Amino acid sequence: MPTVQVGDLKDDDFLLDVREDDEWQAGHAEGALHIPLSEFTARYGELTEAAPQDGRIHVICRSGGRSAQVTMYLVQQGIDAVNVDGGMQAWSAAGRAVVTGDGTPGHVL
């Protein structure tokens, strides 16, 4: 399983958040693309349109389980994808910004 630590992420890295809507609304990484795991296969085209053509997709969830599933699927499709170890919990613990839809501070559910 290709994995990356939160501390290794750069501000301009492409981030895919696969948490559910209530988790996303409570707080997420600014600039992340949100496609819940429960809708992932139906909305796969949104990812292929938004993701950088030759870039890496960094997949994140709350703690790393759901994002690991999506990462494995993407790797099987030949896409350069990595799981963000520890998920949004590690993101928040590292002091990275967590925001709501209107840009105000959020929290990780």
Active-site amino acid positions: 61
Are 26 and 100 spatial neighbours (Cβ–Cβ below 8 Å)?
yes
Under DSSP, the state recorded for 99 is B
Cα 35 from Cα 14, distance rounded (Å): 13
Total count of residues recorded for the chain: 109
Please report which residue ranges of the chain form alpha helices under DSSP H. 21-26, 44-50, 65-76, 87-93
Q: Which amino acid is at 58?
A: H
Cα 103 from Cα 81, distance rounded (Å): 27
